[in-house]
Amino acid sequence: MSALRFLWGVARTPRGAVSAAVLVLVILCALFAPWLAPYDYAIQNLPGANTSPNAAHWMGTDEFGRDLMSRIIHGARTSLSVAITAIGISVVAGMTLGAMAGYFGGIFDRVVTAVVDLTWSFPEILIALLLIAIIGTGTESIIIAIAIAYLAQFTRLTRAQVMALRSETYVEATVNLGAGHAHVIFRHLLPNAITPVIVAGMLATGDAIILEATLGFFGLGAQPPTPSWGAMMSSGTAQIFIAPWIILFPGAAIAVTVIAINLFGDALIDALDIRNRLREV
């Protein structure tokens, strides 16, 4: 309940309120896409291809006569599910690795740090493309690729937090009382290190949406007829002078969603005073 009250307090700020409203709208579209979409996203109507926005099709139709608004609504489900699942996996794995490296130190810490620094020296898009080239295309492959691409930042952030916390008096007292390593890590260190990681994960979700759209633009993500904002923009490039709405509306959906995530994340950072806390680490 305290967490809900805190989020309500963040959402009551002007920046938080606007961004929260947009995010709630996008999430509702993703959850209730089959009921909110006015048409079936896969039904083609070739005589009505490239129809401009009108009363029947508020965002027009694509090159196959499919309702663009319906595809964008269903595309929200694809983009959000891929981004949230991938970042969720990355956060859990990164926090586990970072906590173990920061707590135990030694050769394990050096190995984890070396691998993390190596992967962090490459752009996420390059790592994702390399992994997809190995494991193949598709939604599942995109999730794995994005999760691994963003693993480094959560591992490093958690490691830094745990290294700062492990010398605290309550941790030393817990160890002296005979608590096991797992108890210390998962009951005392991670709960106190989780806040900056969760905020970083939320901000990374916006980046993951862009990365998923980029991979979808190259035809490496969700395969037809499953709608994806990136794939829709890719098909719209060939129609940009004939039917520019095919590329403009999916692009606007990506931009609005990512901006809303970043604004809400910034509101969380200000409310939690994350920047000052990280300076102290």
Pairwise CA distance, residues 61 & 245, whole Å:
8
pLDDT recorded at residue 280: 47
Task: Please determine, for residue 35, whether its predicted confidence score (pLDDT) is greater than 90.
Answer: yes
pLDDT recorded at residue 217: 87
Domain of residue 58, residue span: 2-279
Q: What CATH number should be reported for the domain holding residue 39? A: 1.10.3720.10
CB 149 within 8 A of CB 124: yes
* Helix/strand/coil (H/E/C) assignment for every residue in the chain: CHHHHHHHHHHCCHHHHHHHHHHHHHHHHHHCHHHHCCCCCCCCCHHHCCCCCCCCCCCCECCCCCEHHHHHHHHHHHHHHHHHHHHHHHHHHHHHHHHHHHHHCHHHHHHHHHHHHHHHCCCHHHHHHHHHHHHCCCHHHHHHHHHHHCHHHHHHHHHHHHHHHCCCHHHHHHHHCCCCHHHHHHHHHHHHHHHHHHHHHHHHHHHHHHHHHHHHHCCCCCCCCCCCHHHHHHHHHCCCCCCCHHHHHHHHHHHHHHHHHHHHHHHHHHHHCHHHHHHCC
Q: Which two tokens stand for residue 208?
A: 């993951």
pLDDT recorded at residue 117: 83
pLDDT-derived band at 143 (thresholds 50, 70, 90) equals very high
pLDDT-derived band at 84 (thresholds 50, 70, 90) equals very high
pLDDT-derived band at 278 (thresholds 50, 70, 90) equals very low
pLDDT recorded at residue 36: 92
CB 74 within 8 A of CB 42: no
| Stretch 55-77: mean pLDDT | 92
Q: Which of 86-100, 179-193, 265-279 is predicted with the least confidence, judged by mean pLDDT?
A: 265-279
CB 101 within 8 A of CB 108: yes
Specify the pTM. Answer: 0.87
Q: How many domains does the chain have?
A: 1
| Stretch 131-157: mean pLDDT | 89
In this structure, how many other beta carbons lie within 10 angstroms of the beta carbon of residue 44?
A: 15
CB 208 within 8 A of CB 85: no
Question: For 44-60, how does the pLDDT look when each residue is reduced to its tens digit (9 = 90+)?
Answer: 988 888 899 999 899 99
Task: Please determine, for residue 8, whether its predicted confidence score (pLDDT) is greater than 80.
Answer: no
Of the chain, the percentage scoring pLDDT greater than 70 comes to 92
CB 205 within 8 A of CB 84: yes
Q: How far is CA 129 from the centre of its chain?
A: 17
CB 231 within 8 A of CB 222: yes
Pairwise CA distance, residues 223 & 4, whole Å:
37
pLDDT-derived band at 7 (thresholds 50, 70, 90) equals low
Pairwise CA distance, residues 30 & 195, whole Å:
26
Q: Which two tokens stand for residue 228?
A: 């994806």
Question: For 165-214, how does the pLDDT look when each residue is reduced to its tens digit (9 = 90+)?
Answer: 887 777 778 777 777 778 888 888 888 888 888 888 988 999 999 999 99
pLDDT recorded at residue 236: 84
Across the chain, mean pLDDT equals 85
> Which residues, including other chains, have CB under 8 Å from residue 189's CB and lie 6 or more apart?
99, 102, 103, 162, 165, 166, 171
Of the chain, the percentage scoring pLDDT greater than 90 comes to 37
Question: For 207-241, how does the pLDDT look when each residue is reduced to its tens digit (9 = 90+)?
Answer: 999 999 998 888 888 777 888 898 889 888 888 88
Give me the amino acid identity at 116.
V
Q: Which residue has the tokens 């694509």?
A: 62
